[in-house]
Chain A
């Protein structure tokens, strides 16, 4: 149920998120309609090529998606969870690290430890989500423990 008095604030927030190229159809962050008579749920698939809505999701199915889809998914995830990822990297653990380890097929603890240790490299000041993803990919490539353990690394 929607709150009465908070609608204004929400609709403002939606602007910020709508500015991103892969705004998701949905309420809450601002009801970006997918088209007047569009199938809202269909939006997941019809809009699939933009990257945002094509999740292989769990590690079990991540082999089903192509490398470029995987890349798009990861970048979208990083983009939308940027602050939480920064925190989790700095702490060396957290749900977003778990999610990332799912993408790359890594051991969660190993990835968390390494991301914390290499934080300055992975998340330098003003790194955007694209840069951060490249940095994570490089980190996994260059770390012996991670490249061995991360089975789905790009």
Chain B
């Protein structure tokens, strides 16, 4: 294919000449090679292509685009301003009125990538979310920007046609929802994430030239008219956001560096930092909960209880404030407002109206205190870019009731309670597809046995505080090899459900949790094809040091087989695991387990994140 410069326009000398195999062209039409080495565009809307074979053929699409542009076809040019900019070097602002208005509205001067962190007590959101913000300023001083809230967020998400959670989950995993790009003022996102869902936002200022920014904005315009099948694990929000950045700077290799099986937003944040000089800086935008934790960090329990009573009864606040100094009045009311917003996050959006009136009384009182508080919530040391990688393999060696064993484990995602905490949900764990194999000498023969297969394991241990009354819970589904005296080495379908409450010292990541636990094991080895175990469990995590974490689980359970409900003598189970996080990508593990009075194991191993 002869690379042609057409329209006699200026082509940047630094970049290769345009052509159907040029990386920039492939990026613009989102071509990727499929398993058989054929090009396929990931775009699924027909109108994203000018040639009928465009989805499959970079060459046909290129030729047809060039042909239409050569004919000065306004319709094609205005639908694909980025292609036009790429092929001719001219941004078709003059020619395309609606596109011009779009660019004028955005007034693009810089680009930020926004990471929305986890939603507390909803480990399903542990994956976070990313989107772009087109800044109308150079954004050299994010702390004093007057325009951030009005700047446009560019978001990629599934267009759901169902409110049913199960239908949503199934369809998004199968890629049956169309995913589309939308633009909206950033304040909608701030109100939604920071205030309504109490999620911290991290804004990463990206370093692009104005030329690159113009190209990305032109491409956003192109993307606005099409859709991509939304795939929860792979072609999700974070994936396509990276695709836009690659259009801006084709030397970036972001989507290629991603794992092929799934894309986790926090992984994409780390990828940005792998590119030299891409990230210029970042800004932390605290959620309403983070604000509340900060504004009450020096308060005693009594003071917090007082604040809580003020939230419910502003008149009580007004009468009790009188005894405080002006400065204390200001900080107390500020904390009351934060507490009010956290506790009433839902009500402030849905009503009733009286909630707004109560809030108004508190704010009115605050305005009477002639103190301007300027204290800002500092960014936590635990940044998303410092998060450990989500896939993990492990190898350990030890003894199970006197027999030597070697254990292999593999986990696809994401985080358990003992993994390094930076950038991850602090009191939750979420694991998908965890496989655990055991190599053991049994009767002089080597056997490789499945020890566990977790389809998922999800837990939330958000501690109860004066302001948060979250329920702690854990759920697990998979297969396990039973190790207690009920049925040693029996493979069983396994379900675990637990609920309770957790407490933690102020500001600490250590916690202790008391749960009621139900475990079900389905196997023909038991009468009635299964058994149930029921009883209390204590989980305690010690996480006072960055490099060391420890988790103790102790429980007592009564068991019954399914054929008749008859609980026999109970069973004590204990496990204690220590992890030392030697490097950012590996941890040493020491784990002891007591399955029943007779059967114990002790293992030492190495875990590696990748």
A residues neighboring B (CB under 8 Å): 1-9, 11-13, 16-17, 24-29, 31, 33, 37, 39-46, 48, 53-55, 57-61, 64, 73, 77, 80-81, 83-84, 86-87, 89-93, 95-96, 98-99, 101-102, 108, 112-113, 116-117, 119-120, 123, 125-126
Does B101 lie within 8 Å of A48, measured CB to CB?
Answer: yes
**B543 at interface, CB cutoff 8 A:** no
Most buried by B among A73, A90, A116: A90
Partner pick for B232 among A2, A9, A86, CB 8 A cutoff: A2
Residues of the B chain whose Cβ atoms lie less than 8 Å from the Cβ of A9: 346
Stretch from B179-187, B317-325, B415-423, B510-518 at the A interface: B179-187
Flag if A89 contacts B363 (CB, 8 Å).
Answer: yes
**Interface hit among B150-158, B434-442, B523-531:** B150-158
Given contacts A83-B359, A84-B191, contact A33 B159 (CB under 8 A): yes
Judge whether B360 is part of the interface by a CB distance below 8 angstroms.
yes
Q: List 17 A-B contacts (CB under 8 A).
A: A4-B169, A5-B124, A6-B119, A7-B165, A13-B192, A24-B182, A27-B158, A27-B182, A39-B225, A44-B152, A58-B146, A89-B367, A98-B144, A99-B147, A101-B146, A102-B146, A116-B370
Residues of A close to B146: CB separation below 8 A: 58-59, 98-99, 101-102, 108
Instruction: Report the minimal beta-carbon distance from A20 to chain B, rounded to whole angstroms.
Output: 11
A50 CB, min distance to chain B CBs, angstroms: 13
Q: In the assembled complex, which residues on chain B have CB atoms less than 8 Å from the CB atom of A16? A: 349-351
Category for how many chain B residues contact A: 35 or more
* Chain B 297-344 interface residues, beta-carbon cutoff 8 Å to A: 330, 333-334, 337, 341
Tell me, rounded to whole Å, the shortest Cβ–Cβ distance linking B65 to chain A.
Answer: 19
A90 touches B367 (CB 8 A): yes
Closest to A127 in B: B360
A86 to B337, CA, bound (A): 10
Residues in chain B near residue A73, CB distance under 8 A: 150
One digit per residue, 1 when the CB lies within 8 angstroms of any chain A CB and 0 when it does not, for chain B 415-456 equals 000000000000000000000000000000000000000000
Chain B residues contacting A46 (CB-CB under 8 Å) are 98
**B136 at the binding interface (Cβ < 8 Å):** yes
Q: Are A6 and B124 in contact (CB under 8 A)?
A: yes
| Chain B residues packing against A (C-beta within 8 Å) | 47, 98, 101-102, 104-105, 107, 119, 122, 124-125, 127-129, 136-137, 144-152, 154-155, 157-160, 163, 165, 168-169, 172, 180-185, 187-189, 191-193, 195-197, 220-221, 223-225, 232, 236-238, 264-265, 330, 333-334, 337, 341, 346, 348-351, 356-357, 359-360, 363-364, 366-368, 370-374
- Given known A-B contacts A42-B98, A91-B373, A98-B145, A120 and B183 have beta carbons under 8 A apart: no
Min Cβ gap A131→B in Å is 13
Partner of A120, one of B157, B169, B367: B367
Chain A nearest Cβ from B264, distance in angstroms: 8
Distance in angstroms from A122 CB to nearest chain B CB is 9
